[in-house]
Amino acid sequence: MDLACFVLWVFFFPIAAVVSFNFLRHKKRCNRNHKKLPPGEMGLPWIGETMEFFNAQKRNQLFEEFVQPRIRKHGKIFKTRIMGSPTVVVNGAEANRFFLSNEFKLVKSSWPSSSVELMGRESIMEKEGERHRVLRGVIGTSLGYAGLEVLVPKMCNSVQLHLASNWHGQERLSLYWSAKVLTFSIVFECLLGINVEPGMLDTFERVLEGVFSPAVMFPGSKFWRAKKARKEIEKMLVNVVREKRKKMEENLERGEDGMLLSRLIAGMIQGEISEQEVIDNVVLLVFAAHDTSSFAIAMTFKMLAQHSDCYNKLLQEHVDIMSSKRWGENLTLEDIKKMKYTWQVARESMRLFPPIFGSFRKAIAYIDYEGFSIPKGWKVLWTAYGTHYNEEYFKDPMSFNPNRFEDSVPPYAFVPFGGGPRVCAGYQLAKLNILIFVHYVVTQYDWSLLHPDEPITMDPLPFPSLGMPIRVFPKHS
Ligand code: HEM
């Protein structure tokens, strides 16, 4: 071999091989990035379709004005750009299954920075893998079968006390606000075991107002007020947690009351959970339960007010349950199981009015789905509407028909509580809250809506724009 040949073999061929390999790799990545992206419009840089998204959301027309027209134009999977993030919106039971069950593998949940700062970096929504499993385990134990048996009488007492102090003697009240006050005390007193002190709900409301607002810290901004409120809450909770820990360590309290706070502190004493994790998760649980449960309760009552045949059938279910009980006797878990039709009504209300329209995920790997590629780092938005309002899963989807839940529903088609590893951890508590509240209201009161056509607003969670004022009449018998 002469020198020229030798130089060619030793230097140029390897370099050419590396260059070609890199070129092919780059080309493949470009293909993945651009060629097979889902159809859709990205709009202007950064802004994209943010205004269209938020305007539709504010009018509670996210499906009708944003999602549906794009499904018609591009299909069930389309791309867009929201608040600077390239985002793929996915719709359908199969898409829900794929993205929700691949949490931690292909996607991870993605919250705005204001939510993360206000809920806390140690809350379950920020946790992955082993830490997520540990925290879910502790929350899950309090809401497992044994936990529920203990919860039911406590919740019955809370609901009855709430009605006696907030409904009794009133002619008009805000049903949505009433549901908020009740849910707040149920989460604190029945689930966690912390007494609600005056002013606590207002302070929490201030935190929640900042959860989805821009994370800007100028005096007077929503986020600034929320951060201040969060500090007040943290101070209060630190005192409660340290006092309880001291009592449990000194054996003055054994921590066997089954309350979630005791379980979390037991984890702290064993060195499995940090103090910050306890604080952040208490704040997160209140946030997760608050607007969602109140809206679900409000919409269940709205549907009952508008469908007298459903109301009569539901009332009969509760009269039958009452007839087997002594006067003043609390409900049991067995009674709750008999509220089948009531749960159908509540589920149908959540199908039509999902308290959470969907949520964002972030792709943590390149994803190939249905012939499209979703680049790593892009956001994915799954929506409840994509299945709840789809004829494929729910016949005549826009009509209110609780009987449809007599038949089983295809997996991942009914998703007000999400699915996969991040499925709602408070599902059972939310169910008890709705059923027990409905039971005591329908057996003790008649009511009517003061504004039957009251619009629903979203900011970004939905709520009745006037707080759902109702007129109430105590039942005489
Ligand atoms: C009708 C009432 C409720 C609805 C519709 C609801 C809905 C949801 C949804 C859709 C998710 C999943 C979000 C996602 O995938 O990004 C979720 C998660 C969660 N929910 Fe609920 N929720 C309700 C009530 C509650 C209650 C009462 C609690 C507890 C007190 C609770 C605690 C949680 C927690 C801790 C998570 C996060 C789970 C995790 O990241 O592993 N929720 N909820």
Q: How confident is the model at residue 30 (pLDDT cuts 50, 70, 90)?
A: very low
Return the pLDDT at 23: 42
Residues 49-91: tens digit of each pLDDT: 999 999 998 888 999 999 999 999 999 999 999 989 999 999 9
419 alpha carbon – ligand 1 mean position (Å): 10
Distance in angstroms (rounded) separating the CA atoms of residues 28 and 264: 49
Q: Atom 12 (ligand 1): residue with closest C-alpha?
A: 418
Q: Is 143 in the pocket of ligand 1 (CB under 6 A)?
A: no
Mean pLDDT of 38-55: 94
Q: Is 293 in the pocket of ligand 1 (CB under 6 A)?
A: yes
Is 26's pLDDT higher than 60? no
Residues 122-163: tens digit of each pLDDT: 999 999 999 999 999 998 888 887 888 999 999 999 999 999
Q: Concatenated DSSP letters for 118-168? A: HH-TTSGGG--HHHHHHHHHHHHHHTSHHHHHHHHHHHHHHHHHHHHHHTT
CATH number for the domain harbouring residue 363: 3.30.43.20
Distance in angstroms (rounded) separating the CA atoms of residues 252 and 125: 33
Q: Give domain status of residue 368, yes or no.
A: yes
Mutate to test the pocket of ligand 1, among 97, 122, 424, 463 (most ligand atoms within 8 A of CB): 424
Q: Is 187 in the pocket of ligand 1 (CB under 6 A)?
A: yes
Q: Is 109 in the pocket of ligand 1 (CB under 6 A)?
A: yes
Q: Give domain status of residue 56, yes or no.
A: yes
Query: Up-side HSE of residue 419: CA atoms within 13 Å toward CB?
Result: 21
Q: Give domain status of residue 231, yes or no.
A: no
Q: Is 115 in the pocket of ligand 1 (CB under 6 A)?
A: no
Query: Which of 14-23, 24-33, 250-259, 358-367 holds the top average pLDDT?
Result: 358-367
394 alpha carbon – ligand 1 mean position (Å): 23
358 alpha carbon – ligand 1 mean position (Å): 11
Query: Up-side HSE of residue 344: CA atoms within 13 Å toward CB?
Result: 19
The two tokens of residue 160 are 């009855």
Which ligand 1 atom sits closest to the C-alpha of 355? Answer: 5
Mean pLDDT of 417-443: 97
228 alpha carbon – ligand 1 mean position (Å): 25
Q: Atom 21 (ligand 1): residue with closest C-alpha?
A: 424
Residues 314-347: tens digit of each pLDDT: 999 999 999 999 988 999 999 999 999 999 999 9
Return the pLDDT at 147: 86
Identify the three-state secondary structure at position 289.
Answer: helix
Q: Give domain status of residue 258, yes or no.
A: no
Q: What is the CA radius of gyration of the chain?
A: 26
Q: Is 429 in the pocket of ligand 1 (CB under 6 A)?
A: yes
Return the pLDDT at 182: 98
Domains identified in the chain, total number: 1
Amino acid 19 reads: V
Q: Is 462 in the pocket of ligand 1 (CB under 6 A)?
A: no
240 alpha carbon – ligand 1 mean position (Å): 25
Q: Is 419 in the pocket of ligand 1 (CB under 6 A)?
A: no
Q: Atom 18 (ligand 1): residue with closest C-alpha?
A: 424
Return the pLDDT at 33: 52
Residues spanned by the domain of 82: 42-120+357-415
Q: Give domain status of residue 4, yes or no.
A: no
363 alpha carbon – ligand 1 mean position (Å): 21
Q: Give domain status of residue 380, yes or no.
A: yes
Q: Give domain status of residue 388, yes or no.
A: yes
Which ligand 1 atom sits closest to the C-alpha of 421? Answer: 41
Which ligand 1 atom sits closest to the C-alpha of 418? Answer: 10
Q: Please name the residues in contact with 429: beta carbons below 8 A apart, sequence gap of 6 or more.
A: 143, 151, 186, 187, 191, 289
Q: Give domain status of residue 384, yes or no.
A: yes
Is 15's pLDDT higher than 80? no
Is 4's pLDDT higher than 90? no
The two tokens of residue 173 are 């009240």
Mean pLDDT of 173-197: 96
Mean pLDDT of the chain: 91
Q: Is 413 in the pocket of ligand 1 (CB under 6 A)?
A: no
